[in-house]
Structure 1
Amino acid sequence: MNDRPYVLVKCAMSLDGFLDDSSDQRLLLSSPEDSARVDEQRAAVDAILVGATTIRADNPRLMVRSPKLRQQRIMRGLPESPKKVTVTRSGDLDPSLPFFTTGDCEKIVYVSDDAADKARRILGSVATVVACGDPVSLPALLADLYSRGIGRLMVEGGSSIHTQFLTQGLVDEIQAAIAPFFVGDSSAPRFVTDGKFPFGPGRRMILADIERYGDCAYLRYRLTEQPSE
């Protein structure tokens, strides 16, 4: 693990494992207390990664919200929020989205080799564009982040990105908040999609922590023996 960051997968899901429903409006899963916990986790990492599909669908800002936490980062000589990272095969992203326009942190876009020139034309003024294989190689992506000083990476989704990191054995920790309701819609996105996971019925993860945040249950699982801090 000495050539890549510590990788933390974070998600909030319904009791039946959905990240959202199929409506046009974003489904609120986290409680206020859990949202505050997530803000603390964001403030403690060096970079946050989401897939391009999540950027298009959810329009995330990925910023540290608490003024106190932002100030603490500044006092440590860091930007107010961690670097933002995304992965895209096509490079087709709108540079006016809040992912690119909010925050004084660096934005990094990892793109397939054949789309790199296009992505640089579209996004070169708002982000660092890195060609990273065809398709994009997650191990190479992590090695590049590590070379840029990223020691701790939070992966925030969506389903495809979670699945790729987990099935390739690139995750050290999962933090899951469980909302107290069901979605019950097979067309809605789940935490992961189908795949061959290193941790199946014959190999169990380590349950490292259980807590309550408002009406949400919080579960933390360790997948490697790497120290979490």
Structure 2
Amino acid sequence: MTRPFVLLSVAVSVDGYIDDTSPERLLLSNADDFDRVDQVRADSDAILVGAETLRSDNPRLIVKSEARQAQRVAAGKPAQPLKVTVTASGNLDPAAKFWHHGTEQQKPVVYTTAAGAETLADRLTTLADVVLLGTAVDFGALLDDLGARGVDRLMVEGGSHMHTGFLSAGLADELHVAIGPNLVGDSDAPRFVNPATFPGGPSRRMHLLDVTQIGDVALLRYRPKQIDGGSTLTATTG
């Protein structure tokens, strides 16, 4: 069984935060970078966000461009990638946009624990395909299940728990970090990753593929599984 290629995508402030603590979502990117992310979504077979992101942002998590949707259909794919979320508690709102946009051809998949499955049985019923991972969330088992579903490319859009889980387990194949020109400066605000033990420790240097300027945003692309040996850097301006 082949596991999907896992691409982690995140927008951060210059000081490393992915949001502030206000009720409204902090926009760290710009219009051109949002369009880039839409293309990455369209190139993916599945998109994953954690339950906390669903609760805080209430995203639709869809490919917005009708032209890109049409290109997917022309290639023999569903108009929208498969939507995936992970919850240990099962605390998900059945009225959230996630379940009701871009799900006409594929029901979202929810990965959960034994305790979470009991809660979800009373909430989601026909809205999602619920997959039990055991007593705790096992990201390797999650990828095995997605691979069995024919998912070749998985895009992970957050939040912190999801990015930390994939990176600490050594399961991320590529990392896109869009750095916005913002300073948050609030220690209570969420960061890209949480404290964890990562493969190779802090001295291990990921391989930097390239740096791209997109207006006032800098996009860094890394290969976490490759060690940087001082290879040539490609820099482009968007």
Taking structure 1 as the reference length, the TM-score comes to: 0.94
Q: How does 1:54-65 map to 2 (within 5 A)?
A: 54-65=53-64
1:183-229 residue CA offsets vs partner (Å, 9 max, x unmatched): 1110000000101111543211000011011110000001236xxxx
Alpha carbon RMSD of aligned pairs, Å? 1.2
| SS of equivalent to 2:221 | strand
Q: CA deviation at 1:170?
A: 0.8
Mark the CA change 1:185 to 1:222 in structure 2 (over 3 Å): closer, same or farther.
same
The corresponding residue for 2:9 is 10
* Matched letter for residue 51 of structure 1: G
The corresponding residue for 1:84 is 83
The corresponding residue for 1:93 is 92
Taking structure 2 as the reference length, the TM-score comes to: 0.91
- In structure 1, what is the Cα distance between the partners aligned to 2:79 and 2:28? 25
The corresponding residue for 1:68 is 67
The corresponding residue for 2:221 is 220
- In structure 1, what is the Cα distance between the partners aligned to 2:114 and 2:145? 15
- In structure 2, what is the Cα distance between the partners aligned to 1:218 and 1:166? 19
Q: How does 1:127-142 map to 2 (within 5 A)?
A: 127-142=128-143
1:129-159 residue CA offsets vs partner (Å, 9 max, x unmatched): 0111111111111100100001110111111
Conservation of the 8 A alpha-carbon contact between 1:18 and 1:188:
yes
The corresponding residue for 1:21 is 20
Identity between Structure 1 and Structure 2 (%): 51
Q: CA deviation at 1:120?
A: 2.7
Q: What runs of 5+ residues in structure 2 fail to find an aligned partner? A: 227-238
The corresponding residue for 2:155 is 154
Q: What runs of 5+ residues in structure 1 fail to find an aligned partner? A: none
The corresponding residue for 2:190 is 189
Conservation of the 8 A alpha-carbon contact between 2:87 and 2:116:
no
Q: CA deviation at 1:94?
A: 1.0
| SS of equivalent to 2:225 | coil
- In structure 2, what is the Cα distance between the partners aligned to 1:184 and 1:100? 34
